[in-house]
Structure 1
């Protein structure tokens, strides 16, 4: 096995483990929010409680990293590099802990909305009436969205997407297919115009996200936030705002949620379903 293949396999295993932990955390957080709501804790206070717990977990990682030591009998230059790296990682974890302690607003409300959504009874399927000579013809089915047309529209915003040669995935069709599957039939007509309006409306946020987390950024160098800079991501973000539950449901059926979770973390949609 080549070194490149080994590295790719190891990275894939890391992503799988991270995805598992994020799934577990999402389920646990959902349970905590339900328990807090059951005893009368309001959404804002529940958000604050969970944010402090999560910040404490990051602080624990900070302590663990800060107290780590290089292998015994390492050369001085190796030790210097080790401790410099530890300081960098510890400082980054501290910033994450500070941010986490004051982030996460709206998650308890999102959890309550999800509970209400899941508890809705399924609508019974009405029996089809017998056809008669006077019946009007059934309306024509809505044609599916053409992925190539949507992708071409997304490519028209160079300030929101990375240059083709720098993107993590030369072909992100799997992500685009899942995102487009979350476009409801009644939304298909004029969807490209809707997408363009969304991108223009959020231009400043998209530019900042590409700058801070896109290809070539420090966070991206660690292998995370790989969707940022992809043209398909503009569709994902639009659906994240317009149909978050539908998007996540379709995504969990087809793809690793770690990519969607990372994107949601950076974007900060009005309804958060992860982290």
Structure 2
């Protein structure tokens, strides 16, 4: 479950409610593309904009439409009490694993972050992926803290934000982290432009925003990199540079929403207010690339 391609789809909205029909269609599309897992309620899934019942329903829908594909559900929240409730809901709704970021308003200390994972991990009956996302959470994990958390029960993976561009430095980065964690805990790269480099450096998989839109394209990159065909994987990734540049400029959520609308996966605006997708004009320069994918 915590290896290969984990596709992270949007949670489409119609007005103030989840568009259940569109969401089911997105999940089925990913399952049919044979992704290795589906990560609902990640950052691209707008988890922090949903209340508890909406999040429970999203996991329930994903589990119903994913078939045999494992569903990983985001459970991040400001209070430990709420994280525990969301974890219980996700498991009851059929999630095979959970994803937890150290969400905060007041920046967390290392001891507070460890306490969060310690309390949550011991209450779980499914494995947990540690979501390391400093750009959003403003919390930076040290490798030592990753090691302490990875030794807790039910921790199965770490979702890292990226690797250095230099292949040697990327391998060193992954080796340093791996030296701190148990052998059963996998490492997955998250920043989409770093996927090929991350797997080549020793990551076990890719937690992918783009995989939620173009799963077959992303599977090609994972398969090439995992098979040691790094030049091919790098070439496939480099072809997507216009997309990576768009993500660099605007983040991944708004471009992903605009692309999903253009693909007919959901109706506009499709995001929980006040969020809005990129204007269609921002996609004009990559229209030919989008048409060629999948």
TM value normalised by structure 2:
0.23
Write 1 or 2 for the structure with the bigger share of strand.
Answer: 2
TM-score of the two chains, using structure 1 as the length reference: 0.24
Which one scores higher on RCO, CA 8 angstroms, separation ≥ 6?
1
Larger Cα Rg: Structure 1 or Structure 2? 1
Greater helix fraction, Structure 1 or Structure 2: 1
